[in-house]
């Protein structure tokens, strides 16, 4: 049975590491995690959210808010016996975003509660949930092999990770009583070339290492009263083993060029643990601990030879997404039935004029009936009554009373009270017109032009109505009505016996003019709604779209495909992702050798793209690829109301990744075979695994008790690889049971792993003195006079460990 | 009957005026009859406003009447012979004064009615 495992990421670094774990797992097993594993991450930044794989996201986010820090401090002060680590209220005012690089603020985020929620309870709840879930898989097995293991990962440079690493250790031990192992994997800043400007990072990391060292000593205890009222003295160390990694290599090779590379290596390491190497490692580590060759701190070296199928898939999917979004925001061309056509503005205008005529006819017809009563029939009867002289008073006054705005029981009142029906008809018809044109053209400019031109037609109609003397003013209407009523009594055509049809027609004309008079204001409102942002009009089902909606949408989609620079908060875009993938692939500082059947990444991407076109049967991307049967307008409306860039980016990428995958556009590649044919190049990569990701001064000699093995999908092929290495006189990896680990589903990659331990962080880390200096001394030349030495050190300290 | 409708000789102001009045009455009656008939025949299924149809029918009525009147003139001058057409003689014009008034009157009426119809169907008119 696989070990129930919970991986907890702290802060943004923890999130990025977890995303890499999830990605590696998905790439190998087509699920985000096995049933016996849960991912949780604690975040102080409200805007950070996990990015999922094509099948979604399995990382549970726990937001630990730092809003109203002063109130949070007051609350903890009263409920937790005024702990001495609490930050000074004056300090938190200047903390800025998140924990502001202040370690005690990081602790405050874990312990505190505010109007956003009770952080401590939320974290406990998330851990208990995850614990219940992973144990549920093995609920019939109570053997030691199936006790849970927890990995905590994050960076020690900010306030959050360096602040809560000790608390989290003890909290996990408190919540998971039968825990088998609690491991920490923390990221350190690399050996500094320049320390000026980075003192907070190095100072925080030093403070965290110092605190960890303190609690690892048997004579020291952790005594706190937590916000849930729990109070106990913990005498054991917070973690069984804490592994540190940085961008450096111990052997002095050029450091990993980006933090993304480090997250990737941390993610690969954790992924390998949940995929199966954890048990193998643990067997060795138990022996190592028994022989005192590991200690409380560790690190590791990791290298791999990989066919980057996932990156190729993501690259191709990003390109397809760009192609689809470019089609949506193309200002001059659109596709109809797979054919590229020019957007012809005169033709749209002509169509919209005709469409507007039918809309207005429909809207006016909707006003002819009120509560089942046909007003036109009623007006005809009234005409006959007038001609038969069945009315009281003069004909002119009678006609005026039928249509005047001064009465509330005449045709004016009936139509006026029923006007919403016509307004709904206008709005619904315009919406449907824009919507159907967008669905057909899949082009936002086309839909925008449709809206613009229909509004132009409305404005022309309004101008015409004004030119014949009609307006929305009731006084004006009553004046015109008097003239019309008088006109009804002259030249009645009685001499040719046509007086009834003529009067009926004249009264109907007045009725139509009445509708026009009542339509003027709503139509002006419709024009305003479409052109201006502060008016909102809704029909029976939908709100009328605005021109600004299309402008915003086009801008945002352009930003997403890198056509303009308006990226909000440096949020993700397809272009930047493509650049990231290319940079990652070309990054020679990463200990991953990328190999390809066709020789290059570019060729593989191009081949995959061509295969996609062939298998999908179309060279033109369609919105149906990304959003299936959803309505385009409604889809984007919903997205604009949420986190547009992230959501659209993820959904389009996921959709295309799934399509690329389902169409099998990229085939697997036998990396072991490649290694056997390119042994020399492969040996160079394997050697990199023996140099751990940490600048330790101490020579960490190979030790048979410490795990060192090759991981691949087939044990026989691993043997062949080791044999191939031997032919090149390379013997770091032995053809022994302990030297190989078969993970049958691990396609397209072969990993070399070497674990190191038995060193002291405060004694052996090559740049520990620089870190200590950053911890103890205020950086020179700080303009802020408030930063005294005492305040600086307080900000770098979170536990009473002196 | 013959002296009123088929005589072109001028025999004094009084008989000439009587002829003018009779012609006007007869024309009005005929116009009404044609108009009445055409209103029941033309544009019955038209979707345009009734008043416009009726005004258009009246123009057609004038046109029909104009044709009928020309047929009458042809018969008149055919009966009287070519010798009776003394265009240089003032008495000839006085003799056909009634026909002339109706002829010119018809043309003027046609253009007046056409102009008023144009005004009504003009885009800037509320009527």
Q: Which pLDDT value is given to residue A27?
A: 85
Nearest CA in chain A to B52: A502
- Residue A629 at interface with chain B, using a CB cutoff of 8 Å: no
Q: Smallest CA–CA separation between B44 and chain A, in Å? A: 11
- Cα–Cα dist A667/A655, whole Å: 19
- Cα–Cα dist A14/A7, whole Å: 10
User: Mapping DSSP to helix (H, G, I), strand (E, B) and coil, where does residue A185 land?
Assistant: strand
Tokens representing A42 are 């604690």
Distances (CA, A) of B84 to A11, A399, A787: 120, 59, 130
DSSP, res B45: T
Residue pair A375/A383 in contact by the 8 Å Cβ criterion: no
- Residue A509 at interface with chain B, using a CB cutoff of 8 Å: yes
Looking at beta carbons, which residues of chain A come within 8 Å of B39?
496, 498
**Angular region, A89: left φ>0, alpha ψ -120 to 50, beta rest:** alpha
Looking at beta carbons, which residues of chain B come within 8 Å of A505?
49-51
Q: Which pLDDT value is given to residue A1?
A: 60
- pLDDT > 70? residue A284: yes
CB contact under 8 A, B126 and A493: no
Q: Is residue A662 very low, low, confident or very high in pLDDT (cuts 50, 70, 90)?
A: very high
Nearest CA in chain B to A512: B126
- Cα–Cα dist A692/A695, whole Å: 8
Looking at beta carbons, which residues of chain B come within 8 Å of A470?
126
- Residue A513 at interface with chain B, using a CB cutoff of 8 Å: yes
- Residue B41 at interface with chain A, using a CB cutoff of 8 Å: no
Nearest CA in chain B to A490: B51
- Residue A343 at interface with chain B, using a CB cutoff of 8 Å: no
Which tens digits make up the pLDDT trace of A95-110?
Answer: 455 667 889 899 999 9
Lowest-confidence range among A33-37, A157-161, A616-620? A616-620
Q: Which pLDDT value is given to residue A91?
A: 63
Nearest CA in chain B to A496: B36
Mean pLDDT over the full length of chain A? 90
DSSP string, A42-84: EES-TT-----BTTB--EEEEE---TTHHHHHHHHHHHTT--T
Strands A117-118 and A113-114: antiparallel
Looking at beta carbons, which residues of chain B come within 8 Å of A509?
49
Pick from A183-187, A569-573, A616-620, A640-644 the range whose average pLDDT is largest. Answer: A183-187
CB contact under 8 A, B50 and A469: no
Phi, psi of A304 (to 5 degrees): -150, 155
Of A82, A70, A171, nearest to A120 by C-alpha is A171
CB contact under 8 A, B123 and A468: yes
Residue among B32, B36, B127 whose CB faces A487 most closely: B127
Q: What is the dihedral of CA A327, A332, A337, A338, to 10 degrees?
A: -60
Residue among B35, B124, B126 whose CB faces A496 most closely: B35
Q: Which pLDDT value is given to residue A170?
A: 94
- Residue A466 at interface with chain B, using a CB cutoff of 8 Å: no
Which tens digits make up the pLDDT trace of A295-351?
Answer: 889 999 999 999 999 899 999 999 999 999 999 999 999 998 888 999 999 999 999
Q: Is residue A686 very low, low, confident or very high in pLDDT (cuts 50, 70, 90)?
A: very high
CB contact under 8 A, B32 and A487: no
Of A13, A5, A355, nearest to A145 by C-alpha is A5
Q: Which of residues 81-110 of B touch A (CB under 8 A)?
A: none
Please give the span between the terminal C-alpha atoms of chain B, in angstroms, as a whole number: 45
Looking at beta carbons, which residues of chain A come within 8 Å of B126?
468-470, 480, 483-484, 513
Compute the C-alpha angle A66/A70/A74, nearest 5°: 110
- Cα–Cα dist A498/A500, whole Å: 6
Specify the pTM.
Answer: 0.79
Residue among B35, B39, B51 whose CB faces A506 most closely: B51
Looking at beta carbons, which residues of chain A come within 8 Å of B123?
464, 467-468
CB contact under 8 A, B54 and A506: no
- pLDDT > 80? residue B125: no
- Residue A230 at interface with chain B, using a CB cutoff of 8 Å: no
Nearest CA in chain A to B39: A496
- Residue B119 at interface with chain A, using a CB cutoff of 8 Å: no
- Cα–Cα dist A53/A512, whole Å: 59
Residue among A495, A498, A513 whose CB faces B126 most closely: A513
Question: Mutate which of B36, B51, B112 to disrupt the A interface (most A C-beta within 10 Å)?
Answer: B51
- Residue A470 at interface with chain B, using a CB cutoff of 8 Å: yes
Which tens digits make up the pLDDT trace of B81-109?
Answer: 888 888 888 999 999 999 999 999 999 99
Tokens representing A732 are 């770091």
DSSP string, A10-21: EHHHHHHHHHHH
CB contact under 8 A, B127 and A498: no
Q: Which pLDDT value is given to residue A229?
A: 83
Tokens representing A248 are 């450096």
Residues 6 or more apart whose Cβ sits within 8 Å of residue A388: none
Q: What is the ipTM of this complex?
A: 0.89
User: Mapping DSSP to helix (H, G, I), strand (E, B) and coil, where does residue A209 land?
Assistant: helix
Strands A740-742 and A708-712: parallel
Which tens digits make up the pLDDT trace of A186-241?
Answer: 999 999 988 888 899 999 999 999 999 999 988 899 988 888 888 878 889 999 99
- Cα–Cα dist A568/A560, whole Å: 10
CB contact under 8 A, A505 and B35: no
Q: What is the dihedral of CA A347, A350, A355, A361, to 10 degrees?
A: -170
Q: Which neighbouring-strand residues pair with A749? A: A306
């Amino acid at each position: 049975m696989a070990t129930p495992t919970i991986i907890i990421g702290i802060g943004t670094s923890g999130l990025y590491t977890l995303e890499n774990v999830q990605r590696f797992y998905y790439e190998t097993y087509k699920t985000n995690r096995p049933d016996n594993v849960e991912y949780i991450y604690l975040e102080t930044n409200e805007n950070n959210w996990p990015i999922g794989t094509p099948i979604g996201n399995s990382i549970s986010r726990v937001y630990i808010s730092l809003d109203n820090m002063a109130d949070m401090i007051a609350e903890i002060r009263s409920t937790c016996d005024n702990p001495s680590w609490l930050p000074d209220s004056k300090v938190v005012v200047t903390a800025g975003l998140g924990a502001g690089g202040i370690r005690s603020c990081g602790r405050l985020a874990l312990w505190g509660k505010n109007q956003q929620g009770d952080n401590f309870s939320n974290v406990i709840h998330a851990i208990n949930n995850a614990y219940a879930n992973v144990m549920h898989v093995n609920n019939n097995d109570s053997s030691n092999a199936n006790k849970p293991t927890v990995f905590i990962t994050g960076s020690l440079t900010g306030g959050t990770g360096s602040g809560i690493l000790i608390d989290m250790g003890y909290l996990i031990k408190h919540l998971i009583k039968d825990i088998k192992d609690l491991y920490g994997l923390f990221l350190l800043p690399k050996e500094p070339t320049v320390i000026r400007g980075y003192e907070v990072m190095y100072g925080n990391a030093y403070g965290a290492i110092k605190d960890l060292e303190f609690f690892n000593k048997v004579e020291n205890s952790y005594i706190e009263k937590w916000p849930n009222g729990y109070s106990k003295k913990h005498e054991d160390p917070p973690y069984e083993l804490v592994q540190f990694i940085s961008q450096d290599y111990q052997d002095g090779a050029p450091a990993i060029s980006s933090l993304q590379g480090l997250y990737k290596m941390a993610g690969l390491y954790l992924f390998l643990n949940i995929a199966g190497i954890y048990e193998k490692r643990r067997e060795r580590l138990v022996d190592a601990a028994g022989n005192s060759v590991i200690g409380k701190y560790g690190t590791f070296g990791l290298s791999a030879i990989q066919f980057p199928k996932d990156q190729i898939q993501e690259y191709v999917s990003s390109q397809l997404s760009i192609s689809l979004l470019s089609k949506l925001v193309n200002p001059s061309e659109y596709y109809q039935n797979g054919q590229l056509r020019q957007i012809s503005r005169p033709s749209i205008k002509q169509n919209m004029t005709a469409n507007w005529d039918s809309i207005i006819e429909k809207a006016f017809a909707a006003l002819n009936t009120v509560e089942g009563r046909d007003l036109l029939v009623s007006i005809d009867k009234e005409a006959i009554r007038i001609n038969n002289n069945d009315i009281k008073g003069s004909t002119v006054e009678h006609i005026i009373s039928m249509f005047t705005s001064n009465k509330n029981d005449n045709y004016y009142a009936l139509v006026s009270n029923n006007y919403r029906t016509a307004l709904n008809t206008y709005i619904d018809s315009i919406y449907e017109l824009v919507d159907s044109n967008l669905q057909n053209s899949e082009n936002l400019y086309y839909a925008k032009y449709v809206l613009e031109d229909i509004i132009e037609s409305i404005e022309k109609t309004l101008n015409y109505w004004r030119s014949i003397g009609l307006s929305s003013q009731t006084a004006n209407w009553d004046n015109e009505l008097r003239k019309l009523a008088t006109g009804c009594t002259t030249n009645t055509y009685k001499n040719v016996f046509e007086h009834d049809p003529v009067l009926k027609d004249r009264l109907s004309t007045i009725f139509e003019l009445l509708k026009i008079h009542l339509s003027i204001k709503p139509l002006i409102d419709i024009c305003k709604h479409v052109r201006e942002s502060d008016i909102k009009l809704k029909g029976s089902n939908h709100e009328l779209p605005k021109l600004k909606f299309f402008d915003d949408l086009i801008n945002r989609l352009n930003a997403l495909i890198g056509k303009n620079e308006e990226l909000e908060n440096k949020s993700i875009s397809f272009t930047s992702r493509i650049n990231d993938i290319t940079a990652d692939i070309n990054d020679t500082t990463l200990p991953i050798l990328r190999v390809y059947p066709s020789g290059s990444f570019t060729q593989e991407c191009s081949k995959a793209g061509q295969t996609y076109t062939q298998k999908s049967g179309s060279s033109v991307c369609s919105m149906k690829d990304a959003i299936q049967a959803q309505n385009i307008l409604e889809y984007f409306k919903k997205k604009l109301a949420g986190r547009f860039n992230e959501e659209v980016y993820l959904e389009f990428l996921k959709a295309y990744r799934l399509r690329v995958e389902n169409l099998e556009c990229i085939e697997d590649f036998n990396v072991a075979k490649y290694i056997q044919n390119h042994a020399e190049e492969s040996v160079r990569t394997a050697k990199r695994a023996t140099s751990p990701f940490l600048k330790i001064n101490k020579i960490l000699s190979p030790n048979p008790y410490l795990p060192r093995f090759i991981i691949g999908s087939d044990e026989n092929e691993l043997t062949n690889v080791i044999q191939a290495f031997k032919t090149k006189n390379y013997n770091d990896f032995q053809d022994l049971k302990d030297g190989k680990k078969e993970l049958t589903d691990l396609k397209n990659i072969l990993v070399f792993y070497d674990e190191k331990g038995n060193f002291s962080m405060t004694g052996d880390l090559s740049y520990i003195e620089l870190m200590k200096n950053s911890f103890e001394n205020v950086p020179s030349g700080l303009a802020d006079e408030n930063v005294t030495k005492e305040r600086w050190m307080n900000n770098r300290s979170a536990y009473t460990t002196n | 009957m013959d002296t009123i409708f088929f005589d072109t000789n001028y025999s004094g102001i009084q008989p000439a005026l009587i002829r003018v009045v009779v012609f006007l009455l007869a024309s009005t009656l005929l116009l009404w009859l044609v108009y009445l008939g055409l209103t029941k025949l033309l544009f019955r299924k038209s979707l345009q406003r009734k008043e416009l149809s009726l005004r258009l029918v009246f123009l057609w009525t004038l046109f029909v009447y104009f044709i009928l009147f020309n047929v009458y003139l042809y018969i008149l001058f055919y009966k009287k012979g070519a010798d009776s057409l003394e265009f240089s003689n003032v008495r000839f014009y006085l003799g056909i004064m009634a026909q002339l008034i109706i002829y010119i009157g018809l043309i003027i009426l046609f253009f007046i009615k056409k102009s008023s119809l144009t005004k009504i169907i003009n885009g800037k008119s509320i009527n």
